[in-house]
A and B are shown apart, each in its own frame.
Chain A
Amino acid sequence: MTHPVEYNPGSFRDPCGFIFKRNGRLFRQINKIYEENYRLLIDSGLYRKLTDEGLLISHEEVADDSGVTDQAFKVIQPEPVEFISYPYEFCFSQLKDAALTTLAIQETALNHGMILKDASAYNIQFHHGKPVFIDTLSFDKYTDGQIWIAYRQFCQHFLAPLALMSHVDTRIGHLQQIYIDGLPLDLTSRLLPAKTKLSFSLLTHIHLHARSQKRYSGKQLKVPSHNRKMTLRALLGLIDSLKSAVTNLRWKMTSTEWGDYYDNTNYSRTSFEQKKKLVEMFITKASPGTVFDIGANMGEFSRVASDMGISTVSFDIDPVAVEKNYRLVRSRNEKHILPLVLDLTNPTPGRGWQNTERSSFIDRGPADTVMALALIHHLAISNNLPFEKIAGFLSGIVKEFLIIEFVPKEDSQVQRLLTSREDIFDRYDKEMFEKTFSNYFNIVESSAVSGSERTLYLMKKNDR
């Protein structure tokens, strides 16, 4: 029986091949025009080297598969990535690691007689806790004297946002959501402080680059002159210069309202540990394959799931919390947790061509189990969201179970939220919470969190 083919809406720009799904499994068709390059990737040892080092996603060649169009040369089955994420959801260090991974791949490729033909930040995904390049068709044969065609793309996708996040404000990372092909260099140059012109690498790769683009914008080209070439040494010099530019960019972390959240709750250490045990018990009962922890802060409770080997995405609105969470992932070499920046009240929308090239947050769900701990009061009180709206939203991203904490008005954290505003939330109570959530979920179990007024629930999505 032939299964219908589902084309990936984000895989259409490169004529060398594309991604598709069949019978729920992911495949990549390699077109005939890429045959020579694919053979070189394998025969030169580059594929082996990059996959051994965990820099490139591995794949299996599918035997007896003629592909889905008559242009097919081969079909491969890439190792699936747990969760697809985008650069505008990365914290600073994630984007920086993604940039350095791209440059490391480019250096290795040049040493094997190949070159990266693109340097898109969307080609990097986090897999088993580390950045990995997912586009097997990005490698072209290196021809002596050629320039790096993806230099502009690298600067726009990586260097520009990193420089702005480092020198201006880390929240500028969100701009990448608007500019799908990376930040325009003229805009970056205008936003960066003047002192960045004293840095050789930022002067050249951002400021002069922007001027050069402006100078030659819309100009008619003369007859090709073959004498102007770039030697391999110069190309390696360019990569080395970009590497030091990226390495030298750092984010000086400042404390935020949320940054020291765990030191600022009304929990005692005992209550905290008891809550962890409750969460662990509920996760064991739910037995999920995937977990979304929304409003995860630094991922303390996400780790209850990920430490069990469950693939867990740890979302938080605060880039500081996500940065700290990611640094923990790196230092502990954790494989099952992915921290990402996400504003639940304005979650990542569908972007790019037809709004489907890059998927929305909701389209990348549902997760088997969703955890929403110490979150309800932020949504209901800080953001005026009625319980009905919250329950409806959660029901859309939950496949089976929801682990949710109810934080009553008497709780000091809720009182803190109410100090600067009028209390218009007369329907914010446990009874109304349970009643409204019962429209979407069945309450399987609930338990008081000791030492607090809070209650933790295990709910199962009902078949409305």
Chain B
Amino acid sequence: MHILRRAAYLSTLAVLFILIDSRPAYGYIDPSTGSYFLQILLAGILGALFALKVYWRKLKGAVSRMFSKGDNSQNDTSG
């Protein structure tokens, strides 16, 4: 995850200066135009990072379940 973070950091720096115009959403508080654009800018990076994180968690969960199953079966056989 550390490499991912570093990659995200560098890519964010790279796209800083290519913020693209769009429109703000509406509501009773002002989202501020700059905050709106930053979210659009970050959307791709944070969305991808989040997907990877979820995938990573699932993978870790699956692996640990596999091993814990192995432990249980050992216990079962010893019992």
Contacts and interface: CB of A to CB of B under 8 A. Distances in A.
B53 A240 contact: yes
B62 interface: no
A225 B22 contact: yes
Nearest to A240: B50
Contact of B12 (A148, A200, A213, A235): A200
Contacts of A237: 43, 45-51
Interface residues of A, number: 44
Contacts of A16: 28
Given A212-B19, A237-B49, A153 B44 contact: no
A20 to B, nearest CB: 19
A264 B30 CA distance: 50
A13 interface: yes
B23, B43, B49: most-surrounded residue (chain A CB, <10 A): B43
A401 to B, nearest CB: 43
B50 A233 contact: yes
A218 to B, nearest CB: 9
A423 B39 CA distance: 60
A33 to B, nearest CB: 11
A241 B16 contact: no
Nearest to B26: A149
A236 B47 CA distance: 7
Contacts of B20: 228
A238 B32 contact: no
Nearest to B10: A200
Given A200-B8, A211-B16, A238-B42, A151 B28 contact: no
Contacts of A230: 39-40, 43
A222 B45 CA distance: 25
Nearest to A154: B35
Nearest to A233: B47
Contacts of B67: none
A361 B24 CA distance: 38
B5 A200 contact: yes
B42 A204 contact: yes
Interface in B1-26: 5, 8-9, 12, 16, 19-26
Nearest to B4: A200
A13 B31 CA distance: 15
Nearest to B36: A147
B79 interface: no
A247 to B, nearest CB: 14
A117 interface: yes
A150 B42 contact: no
A238 B35 contact: no
Contacts of A15: 28
Interface of A: 13-16, 117-118, 140, 146-153, 155, 200, 203-204, 208-209, 211-217, 219, 221-222, 224-225, 228, 230-231, 233-238, 240-241
20 contacts: A14-B28, A150-B29, A151-B31, A151-B35, A151-B39, A203-B9, A204-B42, A212-B19, A212-B34, A215-B34, A216-B34, A222-B21, A225-B22, A230-B43, A231-B43, A234-B47, A236-B47, A237-B49, A238-B39, A240-B49
Given A150-B29, A219-B33, 9 more contacts: A146-B25, A147-B25, A149-B27, A211-B16, A212-B19, A213-B32, A217-B33, A225-B21, A228-B22
